[in-house]
Amino acid sequence: MRSFPLAPADWQFRDATKNTAWLPAVVPGCVHTDLLRAKEIPDPFWGANELGLQWIEDHDWEYRTSFTVPAELRAEERVDLVADGLDTVATVTVNGREIARTENMFVGYRWDIKSWLKSGENELVIRFGSAMKYIRTHRLGHQPREFNDPVGRSQVIRKEPCQFGWDWGPRFVTAGIWRDIRLEAWSRNRVESVRISQLHDADGSVTIRVAPELAHREAGIACYHRLTLNGIVVSEGTGTKIRVEHPQLWWPNGHGAQPLYALHVEIFHADGSRMGSWVGRVGLRTIALDRHKDEAGETFQFVVNGRAIFAKGANWIPAHSFVAGLNREHYARDLRSAAEAHMNMIRVWGGGIYESEAFYDLCDELGLLVWQDFMFACALYPGDAAFLRSVQIEAEQQVRRLRHRASLALWCGNNEIESLNLDLLKQPALRRNYDALFHRVLPTVVARHDAVTDYWPSSPFRNDGDSTLAAGEKRGDTHFWDVWHSRHPVKDYEKWRFRFCSEFGMQSYSSPETQATFCKPEDGNVFGAMMKSHQKNRAGNQIILDYVTRRYLFPKSQDDLIYLSQLNQAYCMQIGVEHYRRLMPHCMGALYWQLNDCWPVASWSSIEFTGRWRALHHLARRFFAPALVSAHVPGDESTIIGNYRRSSVSAVHLYTVYDAPKAARGVLRWDLFHVDGRVLLSGTKQVPLRYGESVKQKTLDLTKLLALHHRDSVFLRIALEIGGQRVSQDSVFLTPPRFIALPKARARTKVAFTVIGPKVATVTFTSAVFQHRFAFDLTGIAHRANDNYFELFPGEAKTVTLDFTRPQTLARLKRALAYRSLVDTY
């Protein structure tokens, strides 16, 4: 097969509704980015510009290019126009002749256009009809309950759901050629794909089976393979079976290495002539969703190479509001940050897109298991024959594209549709449509084209139809939003013993540095019009303030409020994740909402759109660490009539949680401090650490000490050491910190920089007093710190390593340094 790219820079576009002049375009791309590049619209992310750009979704748009087909391509039997992604309602013409119409963004298309080509210059024109016009004229009987689309009925078109708006993202209903487009010429037959399967034998060897999938059935074909690892040939020969005698297994992050074998398969016709090839990377492993009966009900755990894995991770949304042309660099920043935080699973959420090859390449390399939703979220979808057929083609293409991935752990039918529409699904017609899509079409496609990766109909889901939280303690996966949406106390995380929690979250504001990318300082008030455009949850500001004021004193500035919002977010996720990890092996997964942002916004993410880590991500690196010391504080503090405080807190349970593959021995340490620096209680305990174990190691009864020293005057320090190295550490308050008279610390903090190289330095902080969640920044200097938002204990130096994108001087680092801790916010 011969391939001929249609050059990205040779395209033009125009507003076809107004028949405006043709302007330069870039393909892959979309109309919004092309308009911005042509300076026809302002920055869509700036201020409230989103509101002024809604007209774009009601217009038609045209893209065109000219090309000359090389003679060697025209000599083949077929010349196909191949479009990997058209968004969405497209009419395709070649030399003035209509060749196709499309209406599914997630389907790749291929058309034989040889008979319509001519010698010399050819013209390709793709007209994108308004998605909104399509919605207003198609499937008018489908009127779903809306959750995120302010206009409505976006479900009737197969298009990225969150383009229509979400509670963390803008509404930019765009159009364009969003993935590669090219010519492919071939004769006789063509290799479409190669199905890879693995048989892991009892003797430890692995047999790889390759099954070519061709455009047409053909007898007598032959296969040649070449399997290499790190450039070294492991196997080479003919046939469809490859035996690997001493395989190096692929493991999730934190459980072992991620060796990827390069597999090159050549397919030949019966007469010996070459048909084509397939090239991919294969990780040798087994992955299964294990759901066996146990005393509590039914397990929900991922088992990799025979080992049950506690899934530690987050939910992934599209990396940008304009997904066209996203590349490896766009994905690498946040996925590498996920791996650095000890995550081993990413859930590709169903309101976005099936990501590009670069995304899955990185997940394979980093050991990030992929929970892959099909692209359906929240609202009910149609079930007519044409819609189901379009979804079937979409699913077949995506399953065949991704099934060989080492990281692929699960196919999931949708996000929250069943749980949000239980009342509507009592209507027989709506239930039939739902079941046709998620209980027949999609599982049939997975079984036919994958048959290895498990399928789960929805998230959350229980196979007995019971959607209550109590049922989530017995089986299935759960989304827990009582904390946040229902404004329940943060301690409510500890009320429930879920088997697997695949969504839970808390919002915070983006940093002032990220806010500066979309508004002027004078427009930056979090309650103002500009900031309101970048807070997409209707009650978001009120809920943030509610939770912040439950825990912290009133801040003295907006920057301090932002800092406190991030501390609160991190605290909430720490309480939730550590609770789920302490429940191991009853609970075997915690995926918080959400890892990333698609634009600069107040959201639930742990990584801001600019790449800055929120406080949450720094804490995630600690609470997802393989060796964890965790405190459970039973009881709570409340108020009675008259606003008098009452507390039922009198003890602290100390746990070790361990999921590193190799057993170890550690030392558990605890110290109860008075805020004036006195140590009131200390202790140590030698503890064994074994894979998959959560152990209550010690209960501290503090009744007598709290009678002598009020809970407002003390805090607990806990730590775990292995081989003399402190691997986990934190402080524990026995009352909300707004009631604790922390000592003022700013004038009592010493700072020392050491420049190791042009792009590497260390900074050491030493404090005379305790400082909670000490956070520092280097204003105007792009950097990555290996720790932040940490505890500074009296007289103990804390050294942080800094990596820079550009060489830095000691003088500049000193000028740029800024820092605060909790006590500095009031």
**Which residues participate in catalysis according to the annotation?**
416, 503
Token representation of residue 20: 């405006």
* Three-state SS annotation for 787-812: CCCEEECCCCCEEEEEEECCCCCHHH
Per residue, the 3-state secondary structure of 278-304, as one string, reads EEEEECECCEEEECCEECCEECCEEEE
Q: Where are the beta strands (DSSP E) in 201-310?
A: 206-214, 222-229, 232-238, 241-244, 261-268, 274-282, 287-290, 293-294, 297-298, 301-304, 307-309
Residue 63 main-chain phi, psi, to 5 deg: -125, 140
d(C-alpha 735, C-alpha 712), whole Å? 7
Give the number of other CB atoms < 10 A from CB of residue 552.
22
Phi, psi of 776 (to 5 degrees): -130, 160
CA distances from 637 to 25, 360, 383, 734 (A): 60, 46, 50, 9
Paired tokens of 809: 């001087």
- Phi, psi at 118, each rounded to 5°: -135, 160
How would you write 535-604 as a 3-class SS string?
CCCCCHHHHHHHHHHHHCCCCCCHHHHHHHHHHHHHHHHHHHHHHHHHCCCCCCEEEECCCCCCCCCCEC
Q: Could you tell me the two tokens for 153?
A: 């009925």
Ordered DSSP codes for 7-43: -GGGEEEEETTTT---EEE-SS--HHHHHHHTTSS--
SS (H, E, C) 346-404: EEECCCCCCCCHHHHHHHHHHCCEEEEECCCECCCCCCCHHHHHHHHHHHHHHHHHHCC
User: Which of 21, 38, 12 lies closest to 127, judged by CA?
Assistant: 12
- Rounded CA separation 38/50 (Å): 17
Q: Which residue carries 């009452």 as its tokens?
A: 646
What's phi and psi for 520, nearest 5 deg? -75, 155
Encoding tokens for residue 207? 């047999």
SS3 500: coil
Q: How far apart are CA 822 and CA 771, in angstroms?
A: 7
Tokens 């057993």 sit on residue: 663
**Residue 416 in contact with residue 479, Cβ under 8 Å?**
yes
Q: How far apart are CA 118 and CA 262, in angstroms?
A: 40
Alpha helices per DSSP H over 450-557: 469-472, 512-515, 529-532, 540-551
CA-CA distance, 41 to 48, in Å (whole number)? 13
Please choose, from the candidates 308, 253, 310, 312, the residue with its C-alpha nearest in 3D space to the C-alpha of residue 283: 253
Residues 6+ apart with CB under 8 A from 180: 5, 28, 82, 84, 85
CA 540 → CA 51, 320, 516, 552, distances in Å?
Answer: 19, 21, 20, 18
Cβ-based burial of 693 (10 A; exposed 0-12, middle 13-18, buried ≥19):
middle
- Strands 369-373 vs 408-412: parallel, antiparallel or unpaired: parallel
The answer to whether 112 and 100 have CB atoms below 8 angstroms apart is no
What gap in Å lies between CA 90 and CA 102, rounded to an integer? 5
How far is it, in rounded angstroms, from Cα 534 to Cα 516? 12
